Structure 1
Amino acid sequence: MTEPNRARKNRQRAAVAAPDQRPANRRGTLALRPLVFAVAGVWTATSAAQSADTTQATAPAVTPASSVTALATSGPTTPGGSPLVPKMAEPVQRPDNTVPTFTAADKMDGRTNEDIHLRGHGELRRNGSVLKGDTLDYNQDTDVATATGNVRLFKGGTLVTGPDAKLKVTANEGTISTPTYEFHTTGGHGTADRIDFIDKDNSRITRGTYTTCSPDNVDWYFSASRIDIDSDRQVGTGRNGVLHFFGVPVFAAPIMDFPLNDDRRSGFLAPVFGYNSRSGTDITLPYYFNIAPNRDLTLYPRLLSQRGLQLGAEYRYLGTSYNGVLRGEFLPDDREAGRNRWSISALHTQRLAPGLTGYINYNKVSDNTYPDDLGRSIVTATQRQYTQEGGVTYSFGDWIATARVQKFQTLSTATTPLAAPYERLPQLSLTYNKYDLGGFDVNFLTDYTRFSIPTANTVQGERLFMQPTISYPIIRPGWYVTPKFILNTTAYRLDRPAGDTQDTQINRTLPTFSLDSGMTFERDAPLVTKLFGVNYIQTLEPRVFYVYTPYRDQSQIPLFDTGQSDYNLGQIFTENPYTGYDRIADNNKLTAGVTTRFIEAESGIERLRATIAQRIDFEGQRVTLAGAAPTSVRRYSDLLGATTIQMFRGIFFDTNLQYNQDIDRIMRSTVAFSWKPEANKVINLGYRYYRQDANTGQLPLEQADISTQWPITRRLYGLGRIGYDLDARKPSDMLLGLEYVADCWVGRLAVQRYSNAVSGYTTHIFAQIEFKGLSKVGNNPIDVIRLNVPGYQPVTAQPITPSVLDQYE
């Protein structure tokens, strides 16, 4: 294989390093990982094992006919007496002075223990490194190797070429003029005016470049007037560095440190650029401090063109028994709001003793519109409650004890008014779980909570709840029956506002009995097998669930933490339709349902599942959230149905239906369809319909959405999502974007628009360029796209696994 062909082959097979796959490390904006390996130690490692006073033993006479000669006193030889060349996978790595040096050439001559001259394809191998040249001279007295003409230096997957090289082997000093370098592990390459090896740990590149683009199509490259390499500290320092993109300088720095390996290093991170319709142009330049292996600090000053300069910081720490994150942001004198804006966040967890853990989760913002104005995405911009809590948990055997305090900051605006929830000051709980105790499952829950609320003229108080449960599961092949008994005991001590004459002490004890049962039948499905050409099994799984709880008037009990559970196929087979402990529904109800599944016999993959269920109320439930008796009693609940289909590869269909037989209306319906034929191709369709229901408080809703990622050309991909409000007849949210993948870079552009709680809509613009093997610049839209486009995969060139034969010299 010719040298140009070998270089092209190497470039074609090189793997691109992916910084996203190392989330634990913070990298500099221009992290020249491969450049390190190439220059810092390429030649120094070649000669590190030989000392300056190495004495060469008498060597055999060298004749022009010799093809391989070893300047060594010993070593493995062929049956003919010639030394063996080290194998590819077995490089010689000896720490002493006995490392052999192998030479080869068309013609060799020299003087024993003084010098050797190689003419025509000269080659010197030592300790896994290779130096080649048209001519190669090595003086043992001065320990200097001089190569001229087509010089090639190969070490550890890095190839350096140039017209000439002069290297002092043991002292690790030398120069290669006008070199080019290629990196087998990343596919990167570059050129320089010269490389100077100062000692075994330090080297200098003069006017060097680096890129991962193909030599025929260099879309981007990084250049620096000088790059100093310190391989001992694994740090490189670039002077007057410039990043060029299509010939245009896009980033420059007079001095910049970058890591030479994957270890975390202090320094600037990639700048983040974006646009927000509420704050204007958004530029963030983070600086990373690597304080210790288990502690770091990131400062992220953020310039908002319409508001001013915001300062932010994030401190992370990790210990053997604790970890946490502290965050803070401060915007002095917001030009739009006319006041200081800030946010703080603290999350800490710690193992205090064996079985004992504690945590703190505290979040607070300066005002009610902070997330709308300064949120970085739809997730943070729509957050309306900030948790402030701390607690401890102790586990011992089958018991778990928990204590916590919990408060909330609720952000209420004129357009989105929200009521503050009750605070738990404190909450103490004790649970016991024991399974298969003589065939019985035994559970015991005790919970004491002091509820407080900042809203005036609102009832507050204490609640003690105890709930022992015992069940006896009977499970046999093809069927099961589980009887269960629950005793719900609650005591309240209330502080009612002035003028409220209701009881301040309330006790409530309610027993609950339930019986859950089911069967499973299965058979072959010949029609489906014939249709799809795969053996299928069909199951039929009927289920019957009965629950009884007597009625108690609970109209005087406040609602501290209780609400209506979502009515679905999971909830319909439970004992209580309410969350929390303030309402225990009276029940004399029977739920019947049936599920059928189609399963591939060989693989066990479930291709289709369909379920239908309904609850029969024999007496009519009288307990409600509001306390007043219901105006009407229905014997039959809404009919629930659900279907999931995955019969074809890459196609997924799911639907849920709630149907009211009394009024012959669909109360709720959701439909989801997804087609993902291959990577980077997906189409999603969705539809949601909720009919207004006064009994549950459900508001009307009818929305449809479509999202996709799909190639437009071989390199250009389109993506987006549109959510449309069919009632309001206008879009509710929208995301449109493009991704372009080249040989050595990926560009991403996305525009997101969503409704906010203050002034209608907020628009974000995300733009990012990923320079493969170097860094990313811009505002990362990947998380936002994943949230909006299910099944989205970022486009990137697939790395080719390097072969052991690539660049073998």
Structure 2
Amino acid sequence: MGSMLMAGAFGLVAMQVRAESPPTAAEIDWRPKSQLPAQVRDSLPVFCEGGYLPSGEVDGVGGVFGAGEGQQAPLEASGLNARYEIDRELYLQGDVRLRQGAFQVRGSEARYNQADGAVTVQGPLVSRGDGFLLTGERADYNVDSGRFDINTATFLLHGPEMRGSADRLTRLADERVMIRDGMLTTCGPQQNDWALVASDIKLDRAEGYGTARHVRLEILDVPVFYWPWASFPIDDRRKTGFLYPQFGSSSAGSGAFLAAPYYLNLAPHYDATLTPQYIHGRGLFNEAEGRYLSRFGETVLQVGYIGHDSAYAEENPGEQGERWGLDTSTRARFSAGWTGYGDFSAVSDEDYLGDLNRSLEINQTTHLQRKGGVRYQDNQQYFETYLNDYQTVPERIADVDKPYAQLPEILYGGVTELGWLEAGVESQYTMFYRDNENLTGLDRANGQRLRTIPELALPLRTVWGFSRPSVSLDYTRYELEDYTLGDGSFDRTVPVAEWDNGLFFDRQSSLFDVPYNQTLEPRLYYAWADADANQNDIPNFDTDIQTFRFDQLFQPDRFTGGDRVGDTNQLTVALTSRINDLVSGAERARFSLGQVQYFEDREVSLFGEGASTRSRSPLAGEVVLSPIDTLEIRSSGLWDPETGDTEEGRSQLVFHSEDYRYLASVGHTYSRKELEQSDVAAVFPVTDRVSLIGRWVHDSRLDRTVGSLAGIEYNNCCWSVQVVHQNYLTDDQELDSRLLFQIQLKGLGGSGGSSARISEAIYGFDERERRRFGTP
């Protein structure tokens, strides 16, 4: 086998190299999908043709990055042939292997000058470490300083699947590398769809970041963007510096924009991101986000500001064009069951969210909530107190339709066992306030409301059924100001009785060799409430009529809020049947049907709404089918047996493939005399890389489209693009449109914002994006 030298500081390091037509680092470890292990292959997206798999053994962390040992460790070397001049020079030829500490390299020949500690290695050479592979033609290594220079280098980082090349690569120290005239990309070998090209790149694994000068983004080898300097992370540690620029366009709202986010890693527990951006037709718009993490929880502050929006000033004569938006939230968890929260949102004008907002965690809405409080909860009781107010965004909303603030609201509830009995209480104190200076009558009133509901129940439960009779007293006290119908101090007391009963029957069988369990669950629920019919002398602070659904069959009150308590004398008869898969435990089907029999007319109303003389409610039903894990069919509705009319109906079919490449939903919503809409949405792959995206909402009563979305998506293993055209109904009932797009470069993030809009429109699309980009 020729001669081999292993004496003192010299030993054997096993590595692999090819002598003829040396492949790049990426080509050495690249494997077509068919050659990958099943576990790796199954984790790859369908549009990826292969992946990286380390070949050869890795001894220690090694490679171009070391572990801090450096020149303190002895040099170990071997070769098929060796010539050694004592204390002067070592020459190795054929399968040469060198190692010093965690650094290792393999080449065709090497020459070591002991006098100055210089080692010259001829290629083709390979240096492999933990998650790093390096190749080159020739290298110089200094045993004393640990400096390593390699010419015509290629490299591969397995973690981010990033490959690259360099005219010259230098290891300055165990954890620092400099690349001159280098290129980086996450595309597969021989696939330069995109790449970052820079004159100088420095990687510092000790600090977890890299810097680059004179950086170009190239698409298909064509330069499309330039940065004079850039800083980027090479692991998951945070680093102050510019993030990748964002750009986009929309035919409505903000128009074309270019943004340059800058991240500030201020401390381990707080950071900030500043995003200056130029918007065509509007000017310079700035957004900022700050995050603070304490031992109790996280606080996030987001702000947007533009000093002069030229487009807004032109559309609104007399306005200066200064516009802003703010959103902050905090969540805290204290000890012994206590938590705290706070949310505050505000905008300068009603068009800000549609025109400018990119980062605020608020969508287009009528009222922006400002709420903060604390809460305590254990197994037997809860307590909560908060302040709650709103900014009403559209100026056209009348004062009488603006919501009341709760300053404050205090809630308490608890339950305790008294032998066989169960005693409980629910209570609420609220101070309601609204600027009612321009209002009259009941609408002008502000004041305090105290409501408490003590209850005594006898809960009986076995494996085959349950019975729960109970009695309660619904007491409310008002102390009002600007009340014009008399003394503002008055109260209301309503006795309530309930008796809820249910039985459970089940049987086991099988279908298509799958065992299942079928249940039959009849339920009887009786409720009686003796409420005064005349409650319309009480202001409406927070009350509305509940929408009648199957779940509402088992509630004694038809009103939400506390300003009305409904009178009733009713009996609900309902039946539910479930089919459960005994292998997976999944509920494959649920059928529910019920109806209320009223023994007396309901006289309490909310200013004329909510009273009724009918003796039976519509039949309320629900059907939920999930024959397979990726398909769900839901349908609910109300059918009036007296008139034969369907009062309401909601149906939806939702399907997704296991990998979420295929998405489909079909829905129909019907409300007699009010609304009938059909909704179809889908994401359909035409090929492994091209998918069509669409949604269409049609209103049958208006005989018009009230919303649509159509787009196309292209994916390969290192980049993707979405282009979407959206029509949406504005507040003035007109269809507006916008063109959205998003480009994602694997490893670099992306620009545009079509994914967020599609996720709002198509069920399951957010999960699809998470799987596609591997985000948590």
Cα offset for 1:409?
1.0
In structure 2, the residue matched to 1:48 is: 69
The CA deviation at 1:750 is 2.2
Q: After TM superposition, give the deviation of residue 135 of structure 1 in Å.
A: 0.7
Do the aligned partners of 1:416 and 1:757 also contact (CA within 8 Å) in 2?
Answer: no
The match for 2:474 among 485, 488, 492 is 488
CA 781–512 in structure 1, closer or farther in 2 if over 3 Å, else same: same
Deviations 1:303-334 (A, max 9, x none): 32232222221111011124311222222232
How many Å apart are 1:227 and its aligned residue?
Answer: 1.4
- What are the superposed Cα offsets for residues 502-561 of structure 1, whole Å, 9 maximum, x if unpaired? 442221111111000001112245xxx45x332333221100000111131322111111
Q: Is the 8 A contact 1:413 1:758 kept in 2?
A: no
RMSD, aligned CA: 3.0
Distance in 2 (alpha carbons) for counterparts of 1:322 and 1:47: 37
Please name the residue that 2:572 is paired with.
591
* Equivalent residue number for residue 220 of structure 1: 194
Match among 171, 185, 188 for residue 197 of structure 1:
171
Counterpart of 1:316 (choices 283, 286, 291) is: 291
Q: Provide the secondary structure at the position in 2 that maps to 1:265.
A: coil
SS at match of 2:203: strand
Alignment of 1:420-569 (within 5 A): 420-434=402-416, 436-455=417-436, 456-457=438-439, 458-496=444-482, 500-525=484-509, 529-530=510-511, 532-552=512-532, 553-569=534-550
Distance in 1 (CA, whole Å) between partners of 2:385 and 2:297 is: 19
Work out whether residues 706 and 735 of structure 2, in 8 Å CA contact, stay in contact via their aligned partners in 1.
no
Q: Which amino acid aligns with 2:66?
A: A
Determine helix, strand or coil for the equivalent of 1:371: helix
> Residue type matched to 2:455 in 1?
T
Check 1:395–1:263 CA distance in 2 against 1; reply closer, same or farther (3 A cut): same
Please give the per-residue CA displacement for 1:758-807, whole angstroms capped at 9, x wherever unaligned: 573443333222222x312311322322221112354699899xxxxxxx
Scaled by the length of structure 1, the TM-score of the pair is 0.82
- What is aligned with 2:209? 235
Q: Paired residue for 2:132?
A: 158
Aligned AA for 1:507? D
Q: How far has the Cα of 1:493 moved from its partner? A: 1.8
Q: 1:459-501 CA distances to partner (integer Å, 9 max, x unpaired)? A: 222111111122221111211101122111111122235xx33
Report matched runs for 1:52-71 at 5 Å.
none
C-alpha displacement of 1:291: 0.7
What is the rounded CA distance, in whole Å, between the counterparts of 1:404 and 1:746 in structure 2?
45
2:29 corresponds to: 10
- What CA distance in whole angstroms lies between the structure 2 residues aligned with 1:363 and 1:242? 39
Alignment-derived partner of residue 3 in structure 2:
none
2:591 aligns with: 610
Q: Secondary structure at the match of 1:391?
A: strand
Q: 1:11 to 1:673 in 2, by over 3 A?
A: same
Pair 1:401–1:654, CA change in 2 (3 A): closer
Instruction: Find the aligned partners of 2:360 and 2:268 in 1 and give their Cα distance.
Output: 33
Map 1:382-397; keep pairs closer than 5 Å: 382-393=364-375
Aligned-residue offset at 1:414 = 4.4
Q: 2:57 — aligned with what?
A: none
Amino acid at match of 1:706: V
**1:285 partnered with 2:285:** no
- 2:654 is matched with 674
Map residues 316-355 of structure 1 onto 2, 5 A cutoff: 316-338=291-313, 339=319, 340-350=322-332
User: Does 1:776 find its partner at 2:741?
Assistant: no
* Equivalent residues, number: 715
Spell out the pairing of 1:562-577 with structure 2 (5 A cutoff): 562-577=543-558
In structure 2, the CA distance between the partners of 1:655 and 1:779, relative to structure 1 (3 Å rule), is same
| Structure 1, 425-434 or 478-487: larger mean CA deviation | 425-434
- The answer (yes or no) to whether the contact 2:282–2:311 under 8 Å persists in 1 is yes
Of residues 629, 635, 659, the one that matches 2:615 is 635
Task: Provide the C-alpha distance between the structure 2 equivalents of 1:629 and 1:102, rounded to a whole number of angstroms.
Answer: 90
SS of the residue 1:178 aligns to: strand
1:404 is aligned with what amino acid?
Y
1:257 pairs with 2:231: yes
Partner of 1:78: none
The 8 Å contact of residues 502 and 556 in structure 1, kept in 2 or not, is answered as: no
Deviations 1:123-152 (A, max 9, x none): 124445431111112233432221113122
Residue 690 of structure 1 and its aligned partner are, at CA, apart by 0.9
Q: Aligned ranges for residues 734-773 of structure 1 at < 5 Å?
A: 734-758=708-732, 760-772=734-746
SS in 1 for 2:156: strand
1: CA distance between counterparts of 2:763 and 2:667?
11
Letter in 1 for 2:470: K
Confirm or deny: 8 A CA contact 1:449 1:462 kept in the other structure: yes
**SS, match of residue 66 in structure 2:** helix
SS of 1:198's partner is strand
Unaligned runs of 5+ in 1: 16-20, 22-39, 52-96, 693-699, 801-809
- The letter for the 1-side match of 2:248 is G
Q: Which AA in structure 2 matches 1:269?
A: L
Structure 1 pair 717–145 and aligned structure 2 pair: CA distance change class (3 A): same
List gaps (5 residues or longer) in structure 2.
Answer: 1-15, 37-42, 44-60, 314-318
Identity within the alignment, %: 28
Q: Secondary structure at the match of 1:625?
A: coil
Moved more, 776-785 or 733-742: 776-785
Cα distance, 1:229 vs. partner? 3.2
Give the whole-Å Cα distance in 2 for the aligned partners of 1:203 and 1:604. Answer: 54
- Cα distance in 1 for partners of 2:461, 2:760 equals 41
Q: What is the DSSP-based 3-state SS (H/G/I as helix, E as strand, rest coil) of the residue aligned with 1:12? A: strand
Q: What is residue 349 of structure 2 aligned with on the other side?
A: 367
TM-score by length of 2: 0.86
1:788 is aligned to 761
Deviation at 1:264, TM superposition (A): 0.8
Quick one: structure 1 residues 47 and 454, their matched pair in 2 at CA, closer, same or farther if it must change by over 3 Å?
closer
- Is the partner of 1:258 in helix, strand or coil? strand
Quickly say closer, same or farther: Cα 1:13–1:155, change in 2 above 3 A: farther
Deviates more, 1:752-761 or 1:173-182: 752-761
> How far off is 1:622 after superposition?
1.0
2:666 & 2:711 partners in 1: Cα distance? 18
